[in-house]
Structure 1
Amino acid sequence: MTDAKTNPAKLNPMVKLGLELGPIVLFFAGFRFFKDQTFQILGRDYSGFIVMTAIFIALIIATTAILWKLTGKLSKMQLMTLVLVIVMGGLSVWLNDERFIKMKPTLLYLAFGIMLGIGLLRGESYLKLVMEETLPLQPAGWMILTRRLCAFFFGLALANEVIWRLFSTDTWVTFKTFGLTAALFLFFISQSGVLSRYAIEEGAPEND
């Protein structure tokens, strides 16, 4: 009998992608539809952005629960994203202030950058700990990729701060939905040279 904790179930990549990106896409679509509307709830006026933030929180909780149910585990990134969405999104809804949810990507990418940076200072790749099974690389490759991703996360945090502070909510929502996702995708595409140079062939030992 298979132990779900030691042998998590394999999930169709498209299903996983849909569960992870679905709430973001639905938030974007809902915001575009409700952005010019005001809703009165319990005697208070809420913008369409705040209402969609509340719905987004519920969607993230639901999809994360489904992912856990289907796979038997959650990554540190998924857990940290869930916590920050609940905390920062909850503050935005509770205080009726959109700034908190806009700061969520900044805090998330800063946290990732700091964690990777701490590992680098210790001469370790914390990225390897979470991606080794899906991306087998030699130790030197892990260190190069970790340094670059660490800098990239700090760059994303800075970019989010610039966008939400200096541009409109419409611009930030588009940036959050498409810009950040595209940036992460393009980053890993741009690292194809490192991935191929330091890849470990199946059955081959790692170089020290």
Structure 2
Amino acid sequence: MNQPIFERDPSQTSGKEKSDINPLLKLALEIGPLMVFFFTNARGEMLREKFPVLASIGEPIFMATALFMGATIIALAISWALTRSLPVMPLVSGIVVLVFGALTLYLHNDTFIKMKPTIVNTLFGVILLGGLAFGKSLLGYVFASAFKLDAEGWRKLTLRWGVFFIFLAVVNEVVWRGFSTDTWVWFKVWGIMPITVLFTLFQMPLIQKHTLPEEAKN
């Protein structure tokens, strides 16, 4: 039987069915497309001179969008080749990148690519908070292979991440609407990541408090 494109519930998946990606490679696959986006936007004029074919795409932000889309496809392809599965969050984010990137290039309007983080973060936030409204801690499904928490722990963690995703959506709207494109690109690459890392670290006390004892994990 072929394994579906989405990762199964880790509690139902054996180690033989799916191989893990090296953490450093996983990080590279996640931030690599963003780095391509930042570098292309920052060095757009230089790239236009060295690679005239890129000049036909337009201004640096449009070049960055096109290469961002390509890098996203490559990152997802490598992840699939190594694990024969695609994590839900990167997959959803990648689909939105491709849809809004295509709109950006087709309409030659960078508003669409700037709205991508707003759409993705709002989507994740609404899904997590909506799940809680129906008594489902959906974050437990995504991270069950990394953490084994009690029901209260998953509920609190899901609530916090849901609110955090909405916060990121609001911040993105403020930055892209109130500042220059270069400032938005810089913040997207160098601002969101540190904020997310800090938020994640602040969740460790909650995770430690609600981690199930070893006998309860099995």
* Contact 1:127/1:146 (<8 A) preserved: yes
Q: Which residue of 2 aligns with 1:190?
A: 202
Structure 1 residue 4: Cα displacement: 6.4
Unaligned runs of 5+ in 2: 5-12
Q: For 1:158-194, what per-residue CA distance to the aligned partner results, in whole angstroms no more than 9, with x for missing partners?
A: 0000000000111100111021111111111011210
What is the rounded CA distance, in whole Å, between the counterparts of 2:22 and 2:101 in structure 1?
A: 29
Identity of aligned residues (%): 37
Moved over 6 A (4+): 36-45
Confirm or deny: 8 A CA contact 1:38 1:47 kept in the other structure: no
The match for 1:158 is 170
- Structure 1: which 5+ runs fail to align? none
8 Å Cα contact 2:80/2:86 also seen in 1: yes
| Structure-2-length-normalised TM-score | 0.86
Q: CA deviation at 1:203?
A: 2.9
Structure 1 residue aligned with 2:29: 19
Aligned pairs, number = 204
**Equivalent in 82, 86, 98 of residue 98 of structure 2:** 86
Separation of aligned partners in 1, 2:135 and 2:54: 54
Deviates more, 1:3-12 or 1:155-164: 3-12
**Helix, strand or coil for the counterpart of 1:116?**
helix
Paired residues of 1:88 and 1:100 also in contact (CA < 8 A): yes
Letter in 1 for 2:36: L
User: Which has the higher mean CA deviation after the structures are superposed, 140-149 or 197-206?
Assistant: 197-206
For residues 36-115 of structure 1, what are the structure 2 equivalents within 5 Å? 46-115=58-127
Normalized against structure 1, the TM-score is what?
0.90
* Aligned-pair Cα RMSD in Å: 2.3
Paired amino acid for 2:193: T
1:137 aligned residue (143, 149, 168): 149
Is 1:116 the counterpart of 2:128 in the alignment? yes
